[in-house]
Copies of this chain bind each other. A is one copy, B any other.
């Protein structure tokens, strides 16, 4: 694997496990098996490399979401598949956890891919929910934009509850409860 690629993947992994504040250039170099000179040859510093790593994670997560959301079935079925797909729950969300990182939130270049990822997923969910209204699956009173935010929030909050409990169970329950509510309001 090329050095640039190793640097990006190592940074993705370290950001997931340690966060931005907890990830040092030295740790990245060690994990990527790259020298300091090599890292600064390819990137101006930790911030630029982190930006590349966050953008890569964002692209990967969006693609994974689209796999479930673009599949066959009703709106509830597609959203249920998205919520219930296999996840490394206790590791948390690679993108969502960055919102707890003050240095990521304070840097517009680092926050941008985080913002875009969540905006896109909410827009995509709202699209599917609006389709469900059009096909008569949901009542006319359902608010696709608000409900989409709720679905996205359940996932992110489920990670928080699971990590707090050091157990997948609250995540599974939160997702289960969400699917049941969507089934409950479906006509």
A153-B153, A154-B154 given; A145·B173 CB < 8 A: yes
Of A34-42, A63-71, A112-120, the one contacting chain B is: A112-120
The A interface, classified by DSSP as helix, strand, loop or mixed, is helix
- Tally of contact residues, A, Cβ under 8 A: 61
How many of these chains are in the complex?
2
Query: B180–A146 contact, CB under 8 A?
Result: yes
| A156: B residues at CB distance < 8 A | 153, 156-157, 160-161
Within the assembled complex, what's the spacing in Å between the Cα atoms of A139 and B96? 34
- Interface hits, A132-159 → B, CB 8 Å: 139, 141-143, 145-159
Q: Would you list the 8 A-B pairs with minimal beta carbon distance, nearest first?
A: A153-B157, A157-B157, A150-B177, A156-B157, A100-B100, A146-B177, A149-B173, A153-B174
